[in-house]
Amino acid sequence: MAETMFETVKDRELPLAEQAAEQISQLIIERQLRHGEKLPNEFDLAQQLNVGRGTVREAVKLLVARNVLEIRRGRGTFVAQQTGVIHDPLGFAYMPDQLRLAHELLDIRLNMEPWVASLAARHATPEDVAELRTLCAEIEALIQAGENHLHRDEALHVRIARCTQNRVVPKLLPVITYSVQLFGRLNDERIYEETIRTHRQIVDAIDRRDPEGASEAMRIHLAGNQLSITEQEQLRDRQP
């Protein structure tokens, strides 16, 4: 495989091993590598990614844990069967046209998460609300510091879902968690202030046990993402 298959790791917001893992995942997606196809050896990957062999080793471990890669002793590293299933159990990362996927995920979330928020307002405990407020504060601090806030954003939506005390709702979390990360990568900083504001509104409504208010706040929160994604789709469609 040629060196041009990989880009040098440069996103300093994530740990180096995570960055390397993302680059390797991108290779699999772009080259449409299938189950059983072999990756370059550790030395070649380190050279192509411009990182140390230890970083490559850790990146491969991350991808093995996510069922993206598998190690065959004495033979090398290969693309795993049902690639991505576990960390991404529905395989969203390997669907083509991620912008279209973002729009489709929003269609699902707009019909699901306002109801989830309303149910959370009925069943959240004081401990739940305290945790939600902590997560809101952490997200705001990360945004204001210019740091990656998506993992905390994901944790907030997951916690809201768990506040419902409904055993089925957590089974739907991959739709939420993957889309939070996807929207974060696609959206720009213009939406960050609205993210902070609408997160607070959702948690305030849950705290005052206001199901209708929580539902509407969640709808407004998701509508902001929908507008941003729609604008990007329209911009893409206008390009020759």
Domain count for the chain: 2
Residue 42 lies in a domain: yes
Between residues 133 and 88, the one the model is more confident about: 133
Asked whether residue 120 falls in the same domain as residue 40, the answer is no
Q: Are residues 51 and 127 in the same domain?
A: no
CA 50, CA 64: separation in Å to the nearest integer?
21
Encode pLDDT of 41-85 as tens digits.
899 889 888 899 999 999 999 888 877 899 998 899 999 875 654
Residue 196 inside a domain? The answer is yes
Whether residue 71 is found in the same domain as residue 161: no
Please, what sign has the CA dihedral across residues 145, 151, 157, 161? Answer: negative
Statement to judge: residues 11 and 129 lie in one domain: no
Instruction: Output the domain CATH number for residue 51.
Output: 1.10.10.10
Domain that holds residue 195: 97-238
| 168 part of a folded domain | yes
pTM score: 0.65
Could you tell me if 138 and 60 lie in one domain? no
What's the rounded mean pLDDT across residues 8-14? 58
Asked if 40 and 102 sit in the same domain, the reply is no
Read off the pLDDT of residues 173-217 as tens digits, 9 standing for 90 and up. Answer: 888 888 988 888 887 777 899 999 999 999 999 999 999 999 999
Kindly tell me if the per-residue pLDDT of 4 is higher than 50.
Answer: no
Q: Is residue 125 part of a domain?
A: yes
Among 219, 181, 183, 196, residue whose Cα is nearest residue 133: 196
| Residue 129 structure tokens | 């609300």
Domain assignment present for residue 85? The answer is no
